Structure 1
Amino acid sequence: MFAFLANPDRFMAFSRWAAPMFGALAAGLIAVGLWFGFVAPEDYQQGDTVRIMFVHVPAAWLSMFVYLCLGVASFLALVFRHALADAAAKAAAPLGAGFTALALVTGSLWGKPMWGTWWVWDARLTSVLVLFLFYLAYIALRASIDDETKGGRAAAILALVGLVNLPIVKFSVDWWNSLHQGASVIRADGPAMTSDYLIPLLLMGLGYMSAFGALWLVRIRAEVMRRRANILALRAAEA
């Protein structure tokens, strides 16, 4: 599959129909997920504030998943010098930063009524903040180097370094004391929530994933077209 999509022309043909398909799927999944979330019963401890979960948790999932995509694309671009992988990495970073920012903001909104504070410097929250800073650093580093090739390589190295933070984000609640609750969906003994909450949460997670897929494809397409336009402009200037 990767070898097939590694060809820019094949990728452009694939993404032309895949992007709107993922977009439509995302809209449907998120709409249904929100409806199930709003009709779910109040939590006996958290009341209506539990509904923030349906926005916050999928955003937190995607913040890590997108960074993994960024890291893999950066590795392929750095090792194999593949232009499409570099475009994919560049396109993923702002999307990942957006999901991470949403996770941080909604987490603070959820934390205030539950913990009595907007923020605590515990392992989970701090490691997610570090993840957000890695996204911003990647974007800033690429933008600060005029030579696009050198900027891409430098940013790719930074992205690979940032992969070390992903297991810290994932297992921080298990490794250190934290106010943040542990895993509730993927557990050895099964999910720790009823279907009233699990179904809308999974629908929202799939919806976020589909939305990322659609936006990522669109952004990669735009980056490929921008690079092609620059090449044509350069050739015209040399002619």
Structure 2
Amino acid sequence: MRLLFLLALGCDSGGVETGDTSDTSDTGDTSDTSDTSDTGDSGVLRTCDDIVAEFDAEAGEIRACVEAADCGRVLDGTSCGCTRDWVARKDADTGEFYALMSEAADSECELGLESTCDCPETAGYDCVDEVCTWKYVDGYFAYPMCEGADGWGFDVESVTLEGDEIVVEVWFSGGCATHWFTTCWPDQAFMESFPVQASLDLLHTSDEPDACDGYLYEEVRVDLVPLKAAYESAYGAGGTIVVHIEGESVEYSF
């Protein structure tokens, strides 16, 4: 009798312990499910190809432009040369671009940002092939001498200065051909005075002899940034140039 009672008591006690174990087992299962989810999230790896493709797309977006006035934000760290860094639009949000640069560095991915480590002279920014870039002075800006060039005649109505441009209102005969006006700098040098002086000319040409006798009007805009860049290269930043063009003179200060 006594032996049966003890066995029965032992079974009751084991039943209670089994219930506790079952609860612990359930908790353990929940824990296992959470761990599996975390592993799944962290298991998604981005390759260098993924990062580079996203970086190139983002760079294309923030550097896209319509005109030079759109550009003006330097993308620091894209080159070892100060004026070789890429240029973005003024209104571009560059946060994602720099985040991708950082991710690429951490993952040791090459973004193709190699360049020469020089700092060539520039005259602001430009939009070339709908991409923001620098305006490099050397080889980019140059008024031709137009030495010995033959052109068609024209009449000047007015010469005015507007910012970095001289606006020349001209009249000329024609109407049957395409006409061009080229800015020329015959001397390719400043005349020393205070302030210094520079003489520019307009060369009027057409793609073929124009036999029509219409009298046409055109507003020719002469970009003075090349002249400004030449001045700053010779004399330093800031100054005034007396610009002579087609019998008129303007004072260009910057």
TM-score range, shorter chain: under 0.3
Give the structure with the higher percent helix. 1
TM-score (norm 2): 0.21
Bigger relative contact order (CA 8 A; separation at least 6) = 1
Greater Cα radius of gyration, structure 1 or 2: 2
User: Normalized per residue, which structure has more strand?
Assistant: 2
